[in-house]
């Protein structure tokens, strides 16, 4: 072989990853090996190789090589395709699976990285899958808990009558009512726990449960179903009229509870003043509908956390007590901007118990519930969240704690964390646990228009 051809093959041999990043090189390597490359062509290719090597030195990629199509799709094509591989052969497509069993997904990235675009991709493609004529599979109801204003409230207009829009600012009503199959005593304890933890009044939990328990027979003298549950205004009124030591709590705890209840009643208007409010299972899922629940701009913010606890538990606990086990994804729960819900601090507040969102990720799959969680600061997420997710989509991150957590969670080699700050909007490192290809992959999220 002539000089330039030998240099070309030597450089490719010293940098084998170049073929993964530039698949078109493979045909030139074959030409050189079989003596079909001229010196002129080899000289031209050397200039291109040197540029590619310099680029890879400045912007290194520490990922395992990209999969071949047969490796990526060894288990078949995913139902929800919204990602394109940025390396390897062709433009291979990948995504998430929903049909055979529920799987959870975590999308993490800084503001503007493309998290919401990724979640809107999943939502619209599930809607398309549900709309296919002649498809006899179990439909998947999508429930979007909107934390930030306007990100998803346009879905009703875009996707049609199968979508319901509920807003805390436009007539949405939430009571304390739980699923009818759940024992009232158990549901009462749960409500008292969620409220007390989120309000920072854990020492008032027993007293709050006692008041609810005392009011139930008063509101239901006949004891017939469905039960009428007290509103928070009823609870506040009862607390004001009772001696402060009736339920054994210290007077200072009871006073704090009264102050917090007054704040809730005054801050939420008619939102929480209902004996029987929204029931997601019967009013949305059982009707074959989807829903966006706009929970944005609630003050004080901890009330929103309580409402999310209540809604996700209403769905999961009801299915658990109804023994409604499912092998397919019947409900897809989407929560963007979920940092405050799934942080380590929030998990610790439940004092050894799992928070409601943690519980859904740990137990929801057995009852047909999959979750898509969007986070800005991956570094603050609880271990339960990171450990119970099958799909990780990690986008641009700049804070050190999140970057290091992303490297650990994706099991990347040291040094690979340098890629996260360099990712452009829409780019991500994606890994599927329990999938055909176990390695992280560099992908690009399909563009979909944002909410206007």
- The domain ranges of the chain are 3-58, 69-171+280-445, 184-268
Q: Are 440 and 429 contacting, i.e. CB atoms less than 8 angstroms apart? A: yes
Question: Model confidence at 177, in pLDDT bands (50, 70, 90)?
Answer: very high
- Token pair of 289, please? 């509908």
- Give the pLDDT confidence of 314-368 residue by residue, as tens digits: 999 999 999 999 989 999 999 999 999 999 998 889 988 899 999 999 999 999 9
Predicted local confidence at residue 58, as pLDDT: 67
User: Which runs of consecutive H residues, i.e. helices, occur in 287-397?
Assistant: 302-321, 339-342, 344-349, 356-363, 383-387
Q: Kindly report the number of other CB atoms within 10 A of residue 81's CB atom.
A: 14
Distance CA 83, CA 435 (A): 15
pLDDT band at 107; cut points 50, 70, 90: very high
Please determine, for residue 28, whether its predicted confidence score (pLDDT) is greater than 80. Answer: yes
Beta-strand pair 141-146/290-294: parallel
CB atoms within 10 A of CB 305: 24
Burial of 295 (0-12, 13-18, 19+ CB in 10 A): buried
With contact defined as beta carbons under 8 Å apart, do 75 and 332 qualify?
no
Question: What is the sign of the dihedral through the CA atoms of 161, 164, 170 and 171?
Answer: positive
pTM: 0.88
The whole-angstrom separation of Cα 45 and Cα 38 is 11
Region 129-149: what's the mean pLDDT? 85
More confident residue, 69 or 14: 69
User: Percent of the chain at pLDDT above 70?
Assistant: 95
Task: Kindly give the pairing relationship between strand 427-432 and strand 290-294.
Answer: unpaired
Joined together, the tokens standing for residue 360 give 């859904």
Residue 338, by phi and psi: left (phi above 0), alpha (psi -120 to 50) or beta?
alpha
What does the DSSP 8-state code read for residue 282? I
* 133 secondary structure, DSSP code: T
pLDDT tens digits, residue range 269-319? 899 999 999 999 999 999 999 999 999 999 889 999 999 999 999 999 999
> What's the DSSP call for residue 169?
T
Q: Do 191 and 212 contact (CB within 8 A), yes or no?
A: yes
Going across the sheet that includes 105-108, the strands are 93-96, 80-85, 441-445, 427-432, 391-394, 105-108, 367-375, 326-335, 141-146, 290-294, 163-167
- Say which CATH architecture domain 69-171+280-445 belongs to: 3-Layer(aba) Sandwich (3.40)
Q: How is residue 40 written in tokens?
A: 């002129």
Tokens 């409220």 map to which residue?
A: 195
If residue 328 lies in a helix (H) or strand (E), which one and from where to where? strand 326-335
Cα angle value 285/290/294 (rounded, 5°): 115
Q: What are phi and psi of 334, to 5 degrees?
A: -115, 125
H/E segment holding residue 441: strand 441-445
Cβ(126)–Cβ(81) under 8 Å?
no
**What gap in Å lies between CA 381 and CA 346, rounded to an integer?**
9
Which two three-digit tokens encode residue 112? 């503007």
Instruction: For Cα atoms 27, 30, 31, give the angle at the middle one, nearest 5 degrees.
Output: 90
Whether 15 has a pLDDT exceeding 60, the answer reads yes
Q: How many CA atoms lie within 13 A of 366 on its CB side?
A: 12
User: How far out from the chain centre does Cα 5 lie?
Assistant: 51
Mind listing the pLDDT tens digit for each residue in 219-277?
999 877 789 999 999 999 999 988 766 665 677 888 889 999 999 999 998 999 999 99
Q: Is the pLDDT of residue 6 over 70?
A: yes
């Amino acid at each position: 072989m002539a000089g330039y051809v030998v240099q070309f093959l030597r450089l490719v041999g010293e940098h084998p990853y170049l073929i993964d990043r530039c698949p078109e090189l493979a045909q030139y390597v074959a030409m050189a090996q079989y003596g079909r490359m001229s010196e002129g062509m080899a000289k031209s290719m050397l200039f291109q190789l040197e540029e590619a090597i310099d680029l890879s030195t400045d912007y290194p990629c520490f990922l395992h090589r990209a999969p071949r199509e047969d490796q990526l799709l060894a288990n078949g094509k995913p139902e929800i395709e919204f990602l394109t591989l940025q390396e390897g052969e062709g433009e291979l497509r990948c995504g998430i699976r929903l049909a055979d069993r529920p799987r959870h997904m975590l999308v993490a990235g800084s503001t503007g990285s493309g998290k919401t675009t990724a979640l809107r991709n999943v939502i619209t493609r599930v809607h398309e899958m549900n709309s296919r004529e002649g498809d006899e599979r179990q439909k998947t109801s999508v429930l979007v808990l909107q934390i930030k204003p306007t990100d998803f409230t346009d879905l009703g207009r875009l996707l049609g009558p199968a979508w319901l829009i509920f807003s805390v600012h436009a007539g949405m009503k939430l009571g304390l009512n739980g699923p009818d199959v759940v024992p009232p005593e158990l549901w009462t304890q749960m409500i008292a726990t969620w409220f007390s933890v989120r309000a920072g009044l854990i020492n008032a939990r027993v007293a709050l449960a006692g008041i609810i328990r005392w009011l139930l027979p008063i509101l239901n003298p006949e004891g017939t179903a469905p039960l009428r549950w007290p509103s928070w205004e009823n609870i506040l009124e009862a607390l004001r009229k009772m001696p402060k030591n009736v339920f054994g709590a210290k007077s200072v705890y009871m006073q704090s509870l009264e102050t917090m209840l007054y704040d809730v009643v005054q801050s939420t208007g008619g939102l929480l003043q209902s004996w029987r409010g929204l029931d997601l299972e019967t009013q949305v899922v059982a009707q074959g509908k989807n829903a966006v629940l706009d929970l944005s701009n609630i003050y004080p913010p901890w009330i929103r956390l309580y409402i999310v606890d209540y809604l996700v538990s209403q769905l999961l606990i009801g299915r658990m007590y109804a023994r409604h086990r499912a092998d397919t994804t019947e409900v897809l729960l989407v929560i963007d901007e979920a940092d405050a819900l799934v942080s380590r601090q929030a998990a610790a507040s439940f004092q050894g118990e799992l928070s409601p969102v943690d519980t859904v990720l740990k137990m929801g799959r057995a009852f047909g519930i999959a979750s898509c969680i969007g986070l800005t600061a991956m570094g603050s997420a609880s271990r339960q969240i990171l450990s119970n997710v099958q799909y990780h989509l990690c986008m641009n991150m700049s804070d050190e704690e999140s970057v290091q957590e992303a490297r650990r969670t994706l099991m990347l080699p040291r040094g690979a964390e340098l890629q996260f700050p360099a990712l452009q909007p829409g780019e991500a490192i994606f890994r599927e646990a329990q999938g055909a290809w176990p390695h992280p992959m560099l992908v690009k999220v399909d563009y979909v228009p944002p909410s206007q």
